[in-house]
Amino acid sequence: MNSSESSAIPSGLAWIKSSYSGAEGGQCVEIAAGTRAVLVRDSKAVTGPVIRVSREAWAGFLGH
């Protein structure tokens, strides 16, 4: 998988929380679809690190 960790996050992204998160929060991830990559972060640490994954790699991940 082609991914990298980055703190330079484009502004104006719409973050979507995992449907498995439930109302109480807990162990959740959020994703945002950029023009060239999908960004993944911990929903409890929104200012923390972000993993950037190519759109092709993300599609492959979802296909499994």
Each domain of the chain, given as residue ranges in start order, spans 29-64
| Average model confidence (pLDDT) across the chain | 81
Which pLDDT score is estimated for 43?
Answer: 85
Amino acid at position 32, single letter = A
Which pLDDT score is estimated for 33?
Answer: 92
Cβ atoms 6, 50 nearer than 8 A: yes
61: enclosing H helix or E strand: helix 55-63
Which pLDDT score is estimated for 13?
Answer: 87
